[in-house]
A and B are shown apart, each in its own frame.
Chain A
Amino acid sequence: MSVSYGTAAVEQHGSFASRTMPARPARRFLHRGLLRTGSLLVFIAVFTAFSLASPLFLTFANIVTVIGQSAVVGILAFGLTSVIIGGGADVVRGGIDLSLASNLGLGSAVYASLVQAGYGDAAAIAATLAVGLSVGTVNAISIVSIGILPLLATVAVMNICGGLELVLTQNTAISVSTPLLDLLSGTDRFGIPFLAYVIVAVAAILIVTLQYTAYGLRLYAVGEHREAARAAGLPVQAYVVSSYLISGLCGGIAAILYTALLSGSTTGSGEMLLPVVATALLGNVFSGRLLPTIGGTLLSTLLIGFLANGFQLLHVSSYWVSGIQGLLILSVVAATSLVRRRRS
């Protein structure tokens, strides 16, 4: 086993300014707490604006529907968040998983194909989750053992998954219907979609795992400052591997939900990738220390979900949604980087 150089300098590929120029104090009012509360205020403001503008918005049915519809993107974003936690806030150099959308597509195709071939829900679920974990494993191996950069490795895996999905589906939609799928896509007697339960449950499990266990603490340490973690004796690679496994598993879970939502598998799941990335990155701003957290990602998922929903109800052209998402990312990132530089 090789021994690392104690004084090796590992360059951080951070924002342009953080790489070149020494920190300059930003304006006094922009600090961390303000950014977080500011974002929460934005959330509340959006809510208020929409409820005032449309009577349909602030209804129980509407809200729970949106939560349910956010399940797929949300769970994928959770997976991505885990990878980012373990990889460090700098997404390009550290951890990222761009294969999530294809993972979902492939899993969904597997589920639908199996059901169509006559297998039951149990087998299909097992297979889909297995696919998700396998994708995660392949990612982990390529990044940790072989040493390919996460950005490139997951892009390559994404291509492969996309191809496999096409092979399975021959680029057509596969419609299936099973008791479980119908159940998942439906609502319970309170009118709450089961998908809403699922996303909340998954979020809860992940929040507990990542914020309240030793494992989670160590994963954060590995992501935040890899050298310190290594110096403290943490098996850094194992943690990175685990984060990709979580991500793969989330892909599998989301695939099942997706299949339920659409009553089968369809093409074009790859489109989800960018919104998922945006959601996960936006989530940083909702946490106390501007760290990636599951809770923050949940909030940003809901924010975007409600934004889109609000636009729909107000008959605002959906053309603007993508652009607003982009502006949101940019503003949030600019603001967080300003705050970060002020701290350093």
Chain B
Amino acid sequence: MTATGESPTTGESPTTGESPTTGESPATGVRLAAQGIAKSFGATQALGGVDLQVRSGEILALMGANGAGKSTLVNILAGVLAPDQGRIIVNGAAFQPRSPRDAVSAGIATVHQSTDRIGVPGLTTADALLLDRFASRRSALFLSRRAVRRQAAAIIARAGISLPLARDFGDLGPADRQLVAIARAISADASVLILDEPTASLSQTEAARLFDLLTGLKARGLAIIYISHRLGDLATLADRAVVLRGGRVVHDAARPIDFTAAVTAMIGRPLAHAHAAARDIAPEVVFHLRQARLGADTAPIDLDLHAGEVVAITGPLGAGKSRLLKTIFGLHRFASGKMELDGRRYMPGGPAQAIAAGVVLAGEDRHRTSFLPADWPGGTIAGTISLPYLQRWFPHGWLRREVEDRAAEAGIRRLGIRASGPRATLDTLSGGNQQKVVLARWQAEPARLLLLDEPFQGVDIGARADIIAAIRDNRLGATLIATSDSEEALEIADRIFTMEHHGLRPWAGDNLLPTTPTARSEVA
């Protein structure tokens, strides 16, 4: 489905006509042209034939819901993955990197969402700026601290930013780390800069600073691909928007960009229908949080959750959503304040006590928090579901596989999990089905409070509806969801809050289009 405006590029192919001579960058040339990119992981097809083009001096917004294929595409362009099919041309030359370093040499620099790998804690910021330069050129055998600092200063001067060069890289915040990556990209003479969710962990001022920098870079002829959920960002920056859904391009529009149409293309149905239907919530308060502070000097939080209710908390990365959930689960302590569960004081010393009390958490990265490796006993659906309840179900100590299997089968039926059986290993399941297993586990025993941290990460669209329905069907206890995606919050929650700097407030429709009345409706 294509919107009005510029048609997806077929007109200008850099291989016909004159190829740009090396060293000379045409003012408005196509920097990157990808055709027919396809990639599958086992049974899951992440990308099914994607065409993409970016020009010099252009900011292209790449949009798509979770599981639409954005990350895969970015990883292919960054040289981390190789596509199964398709061609990519960068600056007139075929682009077939065998490593991220090749990708950078070819002119594509990527700033990933995770700022982990940008530098090395323990070394200084200056070292981090020079990290790839050491690798690619023959630098001097002896490297004095002063030489390092001089070269680093030159790099950031060229990029037009300022950074504390002597500080330990590990002490830099995400905003500065990002700047390190961008500065490195510029010093490597990148023609294309890819930014993946860059403002996810930035404050307003840091984001504004980033936008200024990007606008300046754009004026210097850089081609920029900007991946983000935040329509506000995109409205400010983007010259063009491309929407991915189900691994394909479904929308391509140029300025002035109609974001409503883009979002509709993104989720496959008009935004207006994406709200959760209003419903009656029982007045019974299941969970009560009074004057709770996450840190010594953060705002106090008051929250009441009712049986059968679904409450969502949105907010940028690092705002404290995850931390709040983990604290309720017993992984951290509140600096002050108290919690009550069903009217009685609730102070778990750890996850074991929380689970015993009926408070359960499905952690952020399910592979890191809920799943055992496929090869280990317990790396199956049955094993995953039974793990928290082993003592409860088998008080005599003997593990009885039939009991596990029965519980797993019940869960499979209830949630519609597509798997070969209760003993199927987790790596045979798609992301959505995996998340269903997580849900099945915590629904295997009645829970008073279900905490879900980013439950839709890596979940394909197909499973989303099932999961949303399963969550909303839960009438026994309350559900608290942390999600950085406001659209998802709208689809699932009865009430929505926003978390910012470890404090909670009712959500006021942030980060959705300022023009769409439905989006702005108060759902507090």
Q: Tell me if chain B binds chain A.
A: yes
Q: Is the CB of A234 within 8 A of B135?
A: yes
For the complex formed, measure the closest distance between the CB of B332 and the CB atoms of chain A, giving whole angstroms: 6
Q: Is the CB of A7 within 8 A of B332?
A: no
Q: Is the CB of A231 within 8 A of B100?
A: yes
1/0 per residue, CB under 8 A from A, across B319-332: the answer is 00000001000011
Q: A9 to chain B: which residues have CB within 8 Å?
A: 365, 367-368
Known: A217-B143, A218-B134, A228-B116. A233 touches B101 (CB 8 A): yes
Q: Is the CB of B104 within 8 A of A233?
A: yes
B122 at interface by CB-CB < 8 Å? yes
A13 at interface by CB-CB < 8 Å? no
B121 at interface by CB-CB < 8 Å? yes
Most B CB within 10 A of own CB, among A3, A21, A231, A234: A231
Q: Tell me which of A110-118, A182-190, A219-227 binds B.
A: A219-227
Q: Is the CB of B98 within 8 A of A3?
A: yes
Q: How large is the interface on B (under 10, 10 to 19, 20 to 34, 35 or more residues)?
A: 35 or more
1/0 per residue, CB under 8 A from A, across B90-134: the answer is 000000001111001000000010001111111100010001101
A341 at interface by CB-CB < 8 Å? no
**Interchain CB contact (< 8 A) of A220 among B75, B79, B80, B122:** B122
A70 to B112, CA, bound (A): 48
Q: A231 to chain B: which residues have CB within 8 Å?
A: 100, 117
**Interchain CB contact (< 8 A) of B143 among A213, A221, A227:** A213
Q: Give the contacts of B463-522 with A (CB-CB under 8 A).
A: none
A235 to B102, CA, bound (A): 12
B50 at interface by CB-CB < 8 Å? no
A235 to B168, CA, bound (A): 24
**Interchain CB contact (< 8 A) of A228 among B79, B120, B144:** B120
Q: Is the CB of A221 within 8 A of B170?
A: no
A139 to B82, CA, bound (A): 32
B35 at interface by CB-CB < 8 Å? no
A4 at interface by CB-CB < 8 Å? yes
Q: B134 to chain A: which residues have CB within 8 Å?
A: 214, 217-218, 234
Q: A323 to chain B: which residues have CB within 8 Å?
A: none
**Interchain CB contact (< 8 A) of A212 among B82, B99, B143, B170:** B143
Q: Is the CB of B168 within 8 A of A232?
A: no
1/0 per residue, CB under 8 A from A, across B134-148: the answer is 111001111110000
Q: Is the CB of A221 within 8 A of B99?
A: no
Q: Is the CB of B101 within 8 A of A3?
A: no
Q: Is the CB of A229 within 8 A of B131?
A: yes
Q: Is the CB of A24 within 8 A of B131?
A: no
Q: B71 to chain A: which residues have CB within 8 Å?
A: 7
Q: Give the contacts of A172-215 with B (CB-CB under 8 A).
A: 212-215
**Interchain CB contact (< 8 A) of A3 among B82, B143, B144:** B82
B78 at interface by CB-CB < 8 Å? yes
Q: Is the CB of A220 within 8 A of B98?
A: no
A9 to B366, CA, bound (A): 12
Q: Is the CB of A289 within 8 A of B122?
A: yes
A109 to B231, CA, bound (A): 72
Q: B116 to chain A: which residues have CB within 8 Å?
A: 225, 227-228
A213 to B145, CA, bound (A): 10
1/0 per residue, CB under 8 A from B, across A15-57: the answer is 0000001101000000000000000000000000000000000
A6 at interface by CB-CB < 8 Å? yes
For the complex formed, measure the closest distance between the CB of A286 and the CB atoms of chain B, giving whole angstroms: 15
A9 to B142, CA, bound (A): 35
Residue of B nearest to A6 (CB): B80
A7 to B141, CA, bound (A): 34
Q: Is the CB of A228 within 8 A of B331?
A: no
Q: Is the CB of A214 within 8 A of B141?
A: yes
A87 to B293, CA, bound (A): 40
For the complex formed, measure the closest distance between the CB of A159 and the CB atoms of chain B, giving whole angstroms: 28
Q: Is the CB of B119 within 8 A of A228?
A: yes
Q: Is the CB of B99 within 8 A of A225?
A: no
B387 at interface by CB-CB < 8 Å? no
Residue of A nearest to B116 (CB): A228
A291 at interface by CB-CB < 8 Å? yes
B461 at interface by CB-CB < 8 Å? no
Q: Is the CB of B332 within 8 A of A225?
A: no
Besides A212-B143, A225-B120, A234-B131, 4 other CB < 8 A contacts? A225-B116, A225-B121, A227-B116, A232-B135
- Closest 4 CB pairs between A and B? A233-B101, A6-B80, A233-B135, A228-B117
Question: Residues of B at under 8 Å CB distance from A?
Answer: 71, 75, 78-82, 98-101, 104, 112, 116-123, 127, 131-132, 134-136, 139-144, 168, 170, 326, 331-332, 365, 367-368
